[in-house]
Amino acid sequence: MFMFQQIKTVGKINLRCVANNTRCQHTSNAAKPEPETDEEGFRILDLKKKKSSLPPRRRSTPVAVMPPRETRMPVDQTWSDVWPGPRTFHPASVPLPLRQGINKLGAPPSKWANAELLKIPNFLHLTPPAIKKHCQALKRFCTEWPKGLETEEQMKKHFPLEVISFDYCYSSPSIRNPSARIITIKFPLSRLKFDKHSKDKFLRLVGERYDAVTDTVTIVTDKCPLKMQNYDYALYLLTALYHESWIVEPWEKDKSEADLEYYDWENSRSKENVISLLKNRNEETELNSPVVNEYKEAVINLFDEGENDYNINRYKEASTALLFST
């Protein structure tokens, strides 16, 4: 390391160091101007320096700005090349006189420097020609539609289980919507194989989830945090309900007619009374005759639905028709 001691000189010292060869060059400039002195010879201190004149400002060279792209767009261009995917709105790329916002003194603000158009999502990439172009590109990866599933009835016949879910798209800091995890499954009860006991037990297990008008069972699951978990849980509930309905508990065999949740016509005393009545009258009326079936339905509705004006009047008319039938 080289150390140089500064000596009072008039001039300027330039040091240039080159690797392995240090060379010092001394150049002298013109003598500095002597400081001003007063009449007694004392130096006048310039405590408040005068401001020198400012250097001339550099003139900014104007930059040539390209005109908006919308002014140079041909009419027959391919829009999917301009807007291939989802992106924020750009006014220079969209050749449409769009307006968004509120202006109390005139028309809504134009698309230039309009923050309202930047905030909302746009679907300019989902034009019909662009969708058709994507479908043509994906067509080679698709298989033919299965034969035998041309109509809605055929689909329900081969695939009776219907799974319903929803996906949401909205403006929010989070892309997840809590309602997207809900899963709903629907299926017709007639597609499941039951006997009399298992069907009755299955209906009592599902409760209000069964619609007797459409013969449809609806199960909704929303307890799990993920959609796939709720889907698996819904299928588990369906499997558990079906297998549980076929299980006959020991206490179920000891149930009497008064303990049944429904009116059992086959083992009821009303059926025995009808058979006894027909035998006493020496009539060959079968148990499947319209008169007996009407009386059977009236008795079942009276016990299952309870006593009301309609059921009582129906039971009265069915009993009268059975007694006075010839």
Residue of 158, 160, 155, 164 whose CA lies nearest to 192: 160
Q: What is the pTM of this model?
A: 0.53
Which range (51-55, 71-75, 87-91, 181-185) has the least confidence? 51-55
Contacts 24+ apart (CB under 8 A), 270-274: 270/296, 270/299, 271/296, 274/322
Q: Measure the CA–CA gap between 134 and 123, rounded to whole angstroms.
A: 15
DSSP letter for 137, please: H
Residue of 302, 239, 234 whose CA lies nearest to 268: 302
Q: For 124-142, how does the pLDDT look when each residue is reduced to its tens digit (9 = 90+)?
A: 999 999 999 999 999 999 9
Over pLDDT 70: what percentage of the chain? 84
